[in-house]
Amino acid sequence: MASDNRSYSDGFWWSNDGLRLHFRDYPAAPEHADRPPIICIPGLTRNARDFEKVAERLAGQWRVICVDLRGRGDSAYAKDPMSYVPLTYVQDMEALLREQAIDRFVAFGTSLGGLITMLLASTRPGRVVGALLNDVGPQLEPEGLARIRDYVGQGRSFPTWMHAARALSEAQGAVFPGHGVSEWLDLAKKTMKIGPGGRIVYDYDMKIAEPFAVPGGEAGVDLWPALGGLATAQVLIVRGALSDVFAEATAERMLAMLPHGALLTVANKGHAPSLEEPEVAQAIDRMLAQVDTGGDCGVGTAALAELVRRRLRPRPEQL
């Protein structure tokens, strides 16, 4: 454990092409050591800090590993920007799984992290025993992708954290209309760092935008078949009600393919919910309880009433 009273230790692994990659490792208590670890995979411009509060809440009960994908956070930047694609990220994750001797795991994937989760599940069905897909599915909406392309890789810098927070609010206010100053500051500190000369800069390699700049190349493969790799897993789909990336129709189609799937729509949030919302925390706990017991997603009358109240909807055939 780290010596500065953090609840995690820093871990590192090597990619196939020689990059030193970083993860935060939040340990489980000895009595829960037999539970599969939770691996948290962030979105395109995000890093391990995105899952900090989620991991701190679950640590002890579960081992939680929060990764920095290549080119983000404390992971090395790639020499070849065209390696910033999902299939390479999957290879990096496979290297981590081998190094940590992890055979079965739960995956929390936000946006790009959800695409990686589906690809990991498809390569070896059954090893992903639980999955949280945060505002992402096999089909992504062109409007939202175009909005993301407009700001990825711009390389802006700011003199203070407050200036950085204000810039985020101006750019993404429509996506998160309920955010106040504290939320924008929190988002700035998750996505940025203090760079050269003391200015605040984004905490990722600006070159990640190069392969993403090509429309239609986000995943590189048709992910609908890949979703089948989660057929035996407990799956929680979280969608922001205001999302312009992940359509409700896509989420409903996913439910029809997932025998143990449930959908939670988070009001007043766009792409993507933080996973710190109270209703999301309760849904995560419910999903993890099913993973721990090996149960299915069937619910009784009392539980169903709670699910409806929280907007967590089981598939119709489970009613």
112 assigned to some structural domain: yes
Residue 319 has pLDDT above 90, yes or no: no
Q: What are phi and psi of 24, to 5 degrees?
A: -95, 135
Residue 162: predicted pLDDT: 98
199 assigned to some structural domain: no
Kindly tell me the burial class for residue 219, based on how many C-beta atoms sit within 10 Å of its own C-beta (0-12, 13-18, 19 or more): buried
Q: Which residues contact 182 (CB under 8 A, 6 or more apart)?
A: none
196 assigned to some structural domain: no
268 assigned to some structural domain: yes
Residue with tokens 């009273």: 5
Q: Which two tokens stand for residue 218?
A: 């986000």
CA angle 141, 146, 150 (to 5 degrees): 150
pLDDT digits (tens, 9 = 90+) for 176-195: 999 999 999 999 999 999 99
For the chain, where are the alpha helices, taking DSSP H only? Answer: 52-58, 86-99, 112-123, 142-151, 161-172, 181-191, 209-212, 224-227, 248-257, 278-293, 301-309
- Number of domain units in the chain: 1
131, 263 contact by CB (below 8 A): no
pLDDT digits (tens, 9 = 90+) for 79-91: 999 999 999 999 9
Residue with tokens 């290549």: 70
181 assigned to some structural domain: no
Measure the CA–CA gap between 212 and 182, rounded to whole angstroms: 30
Over residues 286-301, the mean pLDDT reads 70
Q: Which residues contact 184 (CB under 8 A, 6 or more apart)?
A: 165, 166, 168, 169
Measure the CA–CA gap between 68 and 39, rounded to whole angstroms: 11
Strand partners, 157: 201
182 assigned to some structural domain: no
Q: Range of 143's domain?
A: 9-153+208-318
Over residues 123-138, the mean pLDDT reads 97
Residue with tokens 């598939």: 315
195 assigned to some structural domain: no
From edge to edge, which strands make up the β-sheet containing 200-202? 157-158, 200-202, 192-194
39 assigned to some structural domain: yes
Q: Which two tokens stand for residue 280?
A: 């999301």
pLDDT digits (tens, 9 = 90+) for 144-181: 999 998 889 988 999 999 999 999 999 999 999 999 99
Task: Kindly give the pairing relationship between strand 200-202 and strand 234-240.
Answer: unpaired
We report the CATH number of the domain holding residue 109 as: 3.40.50.1820
Over residues 49-77, the mean pLDDT reads 98
